Structure 1
Amino acid sequence: MLKASAAGIALGASTSVLPKVANGTAAASPLARTSGTSTATALGSAPQGPTSPYSTNVFVHGVTSGDPLPNAVILWTRITQKPTWTPGSLRGTPVRVKWEVCPQVGRSRRFGSAVRSGVVTTTKDRDFTVKVDATGLQPNTRYLYRFTVLDGPAAGAVSPVGATKTAPALNSMPNRVRFAFLSCSNWEAGYYSTYRFLADRGDLDFVVHLGDWFYEYKTGEYTGVYGRVRKHEYPGETMTLEQYRRRHAHTKTDPDLQRCQAMYPFITVWDDHESADNAYLEGAVNHDPEHEGNWHTRKRASEKAYFEYMPTRVNTLTDGQHLYRYFRWGKLMDLSALDLRSHRSKQSWWLQDNPKQSIGGEKQMQWLRDNIKNSPCLWKVIGNPVMMAALHIPPLSPEIANYIAQKTGNPPHGIIFNSDQWDGYQWDRYRLTSMIAKYNIKNVVAVTGDIHMSYANDIYEKFDGNMKGRRVAVEFVGPSISAANVDDIVFDEVGLKLPEDDPLFTTVSDAISFANQHVRWNQCSKHGYVVVEFNKNFAQADWFFVNDKSNPRTGQHWGSSWATKEGVSALYPVKKPLKF
């Protein structure tokens, strides 16, 4: 995470640790998995006809889908039975909810005959969220889905209709896959206009959020030069299950986010702020055990709320549940979505090249290397929450460089910007890049969030002072949606506000590229998102930036585009974005 203090599941496999659903009906559970239709009796209890008057207030958190497989997708919503039965309050009674899926005709949202349906029960134990693993679907198919409340004070309420899409069959070769990736959405620091622009496009297969879905801070604590643009519903720092639930629920009331989530399936991973800043296995920088209690209690609370509120499929290996998981888009592309918080060693400036220092834990790192080495796909994509490429501070005087080197353990020729990134875990990075080089693996691409700035990077086998190593991959790094970046933080400290296009930021970007020859392009002052396409010939990333994150109706503009050819691990600039 960027702050002022810092200068699988195989696709299609059924290994979820979830109960199977008998006859399409399930009791309350973390996630109901079903491929059947409900009995006539169960479905017949749902009132038919127009949406009830309750619906606007009942489905205040919208609908969404996620984790698309060739034959399945996660469906999600939350039931607010009465306005006073608010998220995290534990107020409410168990309620049965019917879900339905039908094929989408063109781009119409008119709901047709259901091909899959079922009934689930949700309770206060999961904060009245509803999460269904709808299976038995057809590959590469667009579907509509909706929910209906069957009993209780909101009986008859019908949700908005959501749209989703399944992945292609594993043995197919699609012409292309196109998705957006984004990260770092701070409610108080700005509006989520990026989601509106993604929904307006209508050309994406899915959306990837790489973490920092929200920020745990108390109101006003981390906003930047724009100040507090809007206020959290819960004003304090999130530390308990109730508080994390409230922050998740409030985030999902954003209208632009709701529209985007109802249009595309999402693949999400967490970074640190879903729990606490700079989290690692045994703690977090923003957690004080003396005053805030046991770290693992807090982390478990954040994890439970996350799995309740996000459209993710819980996976398991021999070590229990985990968030990192594996997706495929036919034979064209696979995506290894990483969890770089739950298993990492504590950040350290002094141990950055220590073999025992791990960013993801040995099991996950071996899983990632195996995915890339054994991939049956043309493109091997890493969903990477923190920056992989080295990022060294621009040259300083020898005296200052040597002083910092003595204090931090950094080599004078390359003082790293942030030990929270892969730079702080260089052995893990080298084991990955050297394996790619050893086996001559082609077409490895990392899509990255966290740093609140935009980068197009070549990835070398080894980052050293001379950069003589072999290029083995490329990396596209997206800006934050709204969280403060360098200009927000630095100029907030000195009380100065400059336009995002001020020449000073170009100077900063030039200095970064000069000190890091593998950085082909960077932009340090804008907010937005990235759209990337992978096809049989090339992969291209387009950066788009919002004009003003403090304006809910702001416009956007294209920033830059970079691409890599199939079989070549090197980036080149592109003069215009992809057509849509």
Structure 2
Amino acid sequence: MNMDRRSLLGLIGGGAVALPASQAGAQTPGTVAFLHGVASGDPDRHSAVFWTRVTPADANSGDIEVRLEVARDEAFADIVRTSSGLRARAERDFTVKHDLDGQGLEPGQGYFYRFVAGDVVSPVGRVRTLPEGATPDLSLAVVSCQLYPGGLFNAYDAIAKLDRLDAVVHLGDYIYEYGAEADDYGMVTGAALNRLPQPPHEIVSLEDYRLRHAQYKSDPDLQAAHARAPFICVWDDHEVTNDSWVSGAENHQPETDGDYATRKATALRAYYEWMPIREAAPGALREAINRTFHFGDLASLMMVETRLSGRSEQLTYEKDLTFAAGPDGQPAPDVAAFRTRLADPSRDLLDARQRDWLGRELAASKAAGRPWQVLGNQVVTARVAGPNLSQMASPQQIATMIGSLPEAVRPQVAQLIELFKSGLPFNLDAWDGYPVGRERLYQTFKVAGVTPVVLAGDSHAFWVNDLKDDAGERRAVEFGTSAISSPSPGDFLGAFPLGMALTQANPEVEFCDQKAKGFVLLKFTPEALTAELHTVSTILAKPYEARVLATYRVAQADGGLGPLEKQG
């Protein structure tokens, strides 16, 4: 996300076991524990990726032998698959990740799983394989943006308590890279809650990234959500560093942080170690994690990668907006020149390889007769111009609102208010910063003959959008999830209704809430999709209350999708 977040936005485990000293190449006598829970991910019809981390008594000791058990029942009386001889190795930070390689499980069924190291048993997780053939319904939770110091992960507790859940779609910002200084991102809340990031500095090294992942997975609410259902994940920027693109990032300074390519490779190594995601194929780019999941004859989910493999560098108002003499001879923003730069046809979030792949997958899903094509995309796609507050409030009201903000952000907010009078985009780090690339994406939808459901994270806000191309033709519907715990722009604007202002200013925006935290629950049937925007009452304390902020329905219709209909 392009706005300067630091200024503008500001133990589940088993017991212990003594392992035999005679076990060749294994952990020496001592204790081990499962302190980071269990997880599954990337399900297919007969398998999934199963993950855990074994904490050794001595990090310098040898491998730890681990066994995976998968059963039909929670008591593990009916075990259907056992994988022995797995090893937690120091070279992978003692994480264990195992794929059943498409064997042993039945399509569309729920299972329980656990890991065993000697006499120590991990927590129990639940997994559901992808269905095959006729599929009457599907339930997906969509999540994004979980800043550990930003607040409690109450939304994950709510997800863990859902009665029906087939999978969790995580759109990125699983970890954040910032440190624990008083002015670091989220630390006002983090200090109050004693949720201080570890290590307490910005992460750069492999040890740093591993420790940060370990801290996040020590959170009991996140562990509960992972144990509830398989996760289908893609990273956004903070898994590496803020506002990443192919060759750099806003929050990377080579003189202090070293080589960017090295940092990116380091971050991805830790990500693959700590996440329940299939490894990149031999010889493939580790950045290329675009992949497809078919839910029987009902839906296809295409996860795209919009950060590290094809993204051009972001434009920013601070560095790319130039000034020219205005009508009164005084310097004024050269909006026309900025729009020309914005419309550079070379700018995109997807490279040709991934866009071609997406087109083939969309067309194949439609040819197979599936009514729903879903795009697991990281950033907001809709056209969202910043609100022209001069049309919504008096100068005195605007001045009062600016005066109510923290002093450090007032100049930046005042500047944005002036810029938005020209209809410039609200967020240049989203698809709005790559308008020609977005048209290429819409052309891909058109050629494939589909009107997909696009998902979005990153913005820390809820969105319901009706997406149209430059010609005004409807190309998709979009549901954006707010953050689990990361600060939202509206959090810093007092009583000003930013979400309402953005809705009124933008024809593509049907609904926007810039303050609530939570997740989106999507419920598919062959006839219609229902999207529920779930929120939690607080991320600062427990207990909390969960509620549905808004519900929208979109039905299948001849030639595409029907209108977005708000329920209730």
TM-score (normalizing by structure 1): 0.79
CA RMSD of aligned residues (A): 2.6
Q: 1:92: Cα distance to partner?
A: 3.0
Give the number of aligned pairs: 489
Q: For residue 425 of structure 2, what is the aligned residue in structure 1? A: 416
- Partner residue in 2 for 1:130: 96
**Secondary structure of the residue that 1:473 maps to in structure 2?**
strand
Of 147, 154, 175, the residue aligned with 2:136 is: 175
- Partners of 2:555 and 2:315 in 1: how far apart? 36
* Structure 1 equivalent of residue 110 of structure 2: 142
Would the alpha carbon gap of residues 415 and 225 (structure 1) be closer, same or farther in structure 2, given more than 3 Å must change?
farther
Change (3 A) 1:211 1:251: same
Moved more, 178-187 or 95-104: 95-104
Distance 1:439 1:265, change over 3 A: closer
Structure 1 residues 437 and 537, CA gap change in structure 2 (3 angstroms): same
2:238 matched to 1:269? no
Structure 2 CA distance for partners of 1:226 and 1:487, relative to 1, 3 Å: farther
Per-residue displacement from partner, 1:488-522 (whole Å, max 9, x unpaired)? 3x35xxxxxx5xxx4x32xx222211211110011
What is the rounded CA distance, in whole Å, between the counterparts of 1:199 and 1:75 in structure 2? Answer: 18
Residue 178 of structure 2 corresponds to: 217
Using structure 2 for the length normalisation, give the TM-score. 0.81
Corresponding residue to 1:379 among 362, 372, 382: 372
Confirm whether residue 156 of structure 1 aligns to residue 119 of structure 2: yes
**Structure-2 change in CA distance of 1:340 and 1:79 (3 Å):** same
Residue 39 of structure 2 is aligned to residue 64 of structure 1: yes
Distance 2:283 2:469 in 1: 31
Matched, 1:473 2:498: no
Which whole-Å CA distance do the structure 2 matches of 1:414 and 1:371 have between them?
35
Whole-angstrom distance in 1 between the partners of 2:380 and 2:489? 15
What are the within-5 Å matches in structure 2 for residues 240-251 of structure 1? 240-251=205-216
1:101 shift after superposition: 1.3
Q: Secondary structure at the match of 2:121?
A: coil
User: Match for residue 19 of structure 2?
Assistant: none
Offset from partner CA, 1:295-345 (integer Å, 9 cap, x none): 011111100000000000124497433222111101210111111111211
How far apart, in 1, do the equivalents of 2:508 and 2:125 lie? 42
Task: Name which of structure 1's ranges 348-357 and 282-291 shifts more when overlaid on structure 2.
Answer: 348-357
Matching of residue 252 in structure 1 with residue 217 in structure 2: yes
1:421-446 CA distances to partner (integer Å, 9 max, x unpaired)?
Answer: 1111222210121343355424x101
The amino acid across from 2:199 in the alignment is Y
Verify: 1:537 aligned to 2:527, yes or no.
yes
After TM superposition, give the deviation of residue 96 of structure 1 in Å: 1.4
Contact 2:348/2:436 (CA < 8 Å) preserved in 1? yes
Equivalent residue number for residue 345 of structure 2: 355
Change (3 A) 1:318 1:354: farther
Match of 1:573 in 2: 565
Deviates more, 1:140-149 or 1:368-377: 368-377
Unaligned segments of structure 2, at least 5 residues: 9-22, 24-29, 317-337, 392-412
Change (3 A) 1:227 1:102: closer
Matches of 2:517 and 2:531 in 1, distance apart?
Answer: 16
Alignment identity in percent? Answer: 32
Matches within 5 A, 1:488-527: 488=491, 490-491=492-493, 498=494, 502=495, 504-505=496-497, 508-527=498-517
Kindly report which structure 2 residues correspond to 1:168-317, keeping only aligned pairs within 5 A, or say none. Answer: 168-169=131-132, 172-219=133-180, 220=182, 221-223=184-186, 226=189, 228=191, 229=193, 230-316=195-281
When residues 438 and 208 of structure 1 are mapped into structure 2, their CA distance, relative to the original with a 3 A threshold, is closer
**Structure 2 CA distance for partners of 1:126 and 1:282, relative to 1, 3 Å:** same
Deviations 1:265-317 (A, max 9, x none): 11111000011000011111000001110001111110000000000012449
> Retained in 2: the 8 A contact 1:111–1:161?
no
CA shift for structure 1 position 122:
2.4
Native 8 Å contact 2:67 2:86 kept in 1: yes
Contact 1:2–1:485 at 8 Å: present in 2 too?
A: no
Instruction: Tell me which of 532, 541, 549 is aligned to 1:551.
Output: 541
- Segments of 5+ residues of structure 1 without an aligned counterpart are 8-44, 46-53, 150-154, 399-403, 463-467, 492-497
- 1:562–1:571 Cα contact (<8 Å) kept: no
Cα distance in 1 between the residues matched to 2:35 and 2:445 = 47
SS of alignment partner, residue 249 of structure 1: helix
Give the alignment partner of residue 308 of structure 2, picking from 315, 328, 342.
342
Q: Deviations over 1:336-384 (max 9, x none)?
A: 1111111211112554322211212221122122222332321010001
1:342–1:360 CA contact under 8 A, matched in 2: no
User: Quick one: which amino acid aligns to residue 540 of structure 1?
Assistant: T
1:460 maps to 2:479 = no
- Measured in 2, the distance between the counterparts of 1:277 and 1:323 equals 19
